[in-house]
Structure 1
Amino acid sequence: MSSPGHENDTSVTSGWAASLAPRLAQFVAVARLEHVTRAAHELGVPQSTLSRSLTRLERELGVALFARHGRTLSLTPAGRTFLASAERALAAVEGAAESVRTDADPATGKVAFGFLHTLGWETVPSLLRDFRAEHPRVRFSLVQTYGDAMLERLRAGELDLCLTSPLPAAPDLVSRRLDEQRLRLVVPDDHPLARRRRVRLAETASESFVTLERGYGMRRILDDLCTQAGFRPRIAFEGEESETIRGLVAAGLGVALLPPAPVHRQGVHELTVTAPRAFREIGVAWLAGHQDTSPVAAFKRFLLARKGRLLSE
C-alpha cells in the first residue's frame, strides 16, 4: 500500500514540470554563455529577472548549479548533469512543436483517416487520388479497421476523420451521411438460389450464415435485417474480413450478406435482396468539439461535397 505522501505523485510531478519548464531555456542560455548579462541580453529579459530566476531554480532543486566567479559563472557537477537533461527536454519540446506545426500546415499537413476494410479496395484510393489532385502535398496516416475499433480510435484522438457504417449515434461524435450501398446475398454457385437474381431475406431463414464478428457494422446490419424478415440468423462461421467470408461461402459453408464484390469472385453468386431493402449507410464521423487543422478541414469539406457520389458501383 502506498504511503499518504505518495498518493498524489502525478500532481506533484506535474507541479514540478510546470514550475521548471519556463526556466529551462534561461538556465541553458546562462550555462552556454557562462555570463548572466550576456544571457539576459540574448533572451531579452532584465538581468535582475534572470538572476532571480536562477536563484529560485537552485533553491527549488536544493543544489547549486553554478559556481560564481565575479561576473562569470561555471557549471557545478550537478549543473552539468542538469544541463544535459534540460537540453534534451527543450529539444523534445521543440521537436513536438515542429511536428504539430508541420501536421497543421495547409499545404503539407497530415490527416489521420480511418475507414472500413470493405471501403479499402476502390472507394478510399479513389477519394485520396481525387483529393491529392488539388492538395498534392497533404500527407495521410491511414487506419483500416472495423467500426467499433475505429470509433474508439477517433475518441482517443488517434484519428481526425473516419468513414464508417452504420453512422454512430453518440453525443460525443458528429456524423454526416454521404451515400448508401446496396447489399447482396452471397451464395455458393451450386446453391439452389444461385439460379435466381433476386431473393426475399425471409427465404434464407433456414440457411447457415457466414458473417463478420460482433463489433463489425455489417454484423449489426445483418442481425437487424433478419429481425425485420422475421427470423434470427443461424451463424455457422464468423470472420474478420469480407473476402474471407466470400471464400467460406464459395467452399459451401453457408451464405452471407455483404457489400458488392470489387471484383468477381469465382465460386459464388450474388443476389439482390428485395425485402427488406438491404443497404447500409456510409458516412463520415469526427469528434464533437474538436478543432480541425487546415488539412483536416479541407479533406472534411471534400468528403461532404461528395455526398451521393461517394461510391462507384
Structure 2
Amino acid sequence: MLAPRLAHFAAVARTEHVTRAARELQVPQSTLSRALVRLEQDLGVDLFARRGRSLALTPAGRTFLASVERALAEVERAADEVRADADAASGKVAFGFLHTMGSETVPALLRAFRADHPKVRFSLVQNYGEAMIERLRAGELDLCLTSPVPDAPDLVGRRLDEQKLRLVVPADHRLARRRRVRLAEAADEAFVTLEPGYGLRRITDDLCKEAGFRPRVAFEGEEAETLRGLVAAGLGVALLPPPAVPRPGVAELTVTAPRAVREIGLAWLDGHPDTPPVAAFKKFLLSRRGRLLPD
C-alpha cells in the first residue's frame, strides 16, 4: 500500500500543487489528496504545509523526499533491467567469423550462449578478415571474430585469444618425423597459402620474413582445409592453425622460431548502438577472453 503513495508524494513535492500533480499522474485530484493524507497518517508526521491550493514541504517532508527519490530511482532501474533482459531474450545478431573457426569454435560459443538466451537468432557469415570489416562498415554485421585484430579509428577491436600456427608438411616429408622445427628450415620449400588479403596470408609472409626468407608460393587458396589437402598431396607446406579433426597424410610441427601465433579478436563499428541481443552476445564473447578457443 505504501509504494504507490510514494510516487504520489514525489509528484506533489515536485509540482507543489495537487491539481497539477494529479494531471501529471493522470489520477483524480480527490484520489491524490486522500493518498497524501493517508501517507501522513501512516508516518505520523506532516509532510506538507498547506497554503491555499499550494503546498510546501515541511522539514520532515524534505528529509523523506530524498529517500523516496532514491527508492523510486532504484525501482525504475530494476524495471529497466528487467525490460532489457526481456528484450535480450529474443532478436537477431548478425555475426561474422573466420572460416577456420566455423567447425568447432563458433558452434561451441553459440551453444554456450544460447543456454541462457535460447530465443536469440543468428545470421552467420564466414569470410576472411578484410571482407568482414567491409560488411561491418556497411552495417551488414553487428560483430565479427577476426585476425589480426583491426586497428582503425572507426572500429573497436578487442583481443580475445591467440592461436598457435603449425608448419604442416606431407606425411613423407623430410621433416615429418620431427615434432618441432624452426621456420627457417623450410626456406627452400614450396608453400601453399591463402590468397593476398587474408589475415593468415599476411601473418605467413611476416613470419617467413622474420625467419629470413620470402616464401615461394606454389598455390593460393581460400580455405585452410583445402590447403591441408594440397599439403597431403605433396604440393607444398603451409603455416596453419590446428584442425578441428586430424587430417591424414600430413604432419603438423610446432614452430619454435619465430613465435608463430595469430591473435583472434572481436570487432564492431565504433559508435553504433547495440540492440539488446547484440549487447548480450558482445558481453558474452568479451567474457571469454583467454579461453575463446578450444584446447
| TM-score, scaled relative to structure 2 | 0.70
Partner residue, 2:213: 231
**1:132-183 residue CA offsets vs partner (Å, 9 max, x unmatched):** 0000000100000111101100110000000000011111110000000000
Q: What's the CA shift for 1:105?
A: 3.6
Query: Does 1:274 pair with 2:256?
Result: yes
Amino acid at match of 2:247: R
Specify the alignment match of 1:257 in structure 2.
Answer: 239
Q: Which of 104, 114, 121 matches 1:122? A: 104
Are 1:202 and 2:184 counterparts?
yes
**Amino acid in the other structure paired with 2:137:** R
Give the distance between the partners of 1:189 and 1:308, measured in 2 at CA: 32
3-state SS of paired residue (1:285): strand
Q: 1:146 aligns with which of 106, 109, 128?
A: 128
Q: Residues of 1 paired with 2:175 and 2:244: CA distance? A: 22
> C-alpha distance in 2, partners of 1:125/1:262?
12
1:176 is the counterpart of 2:158? yes
2:42 aligned residue: none
Task: Kindly report which structure 2 residues correspond to 1:37-52, keeping only aligned pairs within 5 A, or say none.
Answer: none
Alignment length (residue pairs): 210
Q: Deviations over 1:7-36 (max 9, x none)?
A: xxxxxxxxxxxxxxxxxxxxxxxxxxxxxx
Q: CA deviation at 1:215?
A: 1.0
> CA RMSD, aligned part only?
0.9
Pairs within 5 Å for 1:60-99: none
Q: How far, CA to CA, are the matches of 1:262 and 1:142 in structure 2?
A: 19
What are the ranges of 5 or more consecutive residues in structure 2 without an aligned counterpart? 1-85
Out of 304, 310, 313, which is 2:286 matched to? 304
Q: Deviations over 1:45-83 (max 9, x none)?
A: xxxxxxxxxxxxxxxxxxxxxxxxxxxxxxxxxxxxxxx
Q: How do residues 287-302 of structure 1 correspond to structure 2 at under 5 angstroms? A: 287-302=269-284
Quote the Cα distance in structure 2 between the aligned partners of 1:212 and 1:150.
16
Q: Distance in 2 between matches of 1:108 and 1:303?
A: 18
Partner-residue secondary structure (3-state), 1:135 = coil
> What's the CA shift for 1:107?
1.6
Return the alpha-carbon distance in structure 2 between the equivalents of residues 202 and 146 of structure 1: 27
Residue 250 of structure 1 deviates from its aligned partner by 0.3
Report the Cα offset of residue 118 of structure 1: 0.2
Are 2:201 and 1:219 aligned?
yes
Which residue does 1:155 correspond to in 2?
Answer: 137
List runs of 5+ in structure 1 lacking aligned partners: 1-103
Distance 2:197 2:136 in 1: 15
Taking the aligned partners of 1:258 and 1:238, their CA distance within structure 2 comes to: 13
- Whichever residue aligns with residue 93 of structure 2, its letter is V
Shift, 1:129, TM fit: 0.2
Counterpart CA distance in 1 for 2:167 and 2:209 is 16
Q: Which amino acid aligns with 2:259?
A: R
1:248 aligns with 2:248: no
Q: Distance in 2 between matches of 1:261 and 1:300?
A: 26
Partner of 2:243, secondary structure, is coil
Q: CA deviation at 1:106?
A: 1.9
1:180 maps to a residue whose letter is E
Q: Which residue of 1 aligns with 2:58?
A: none
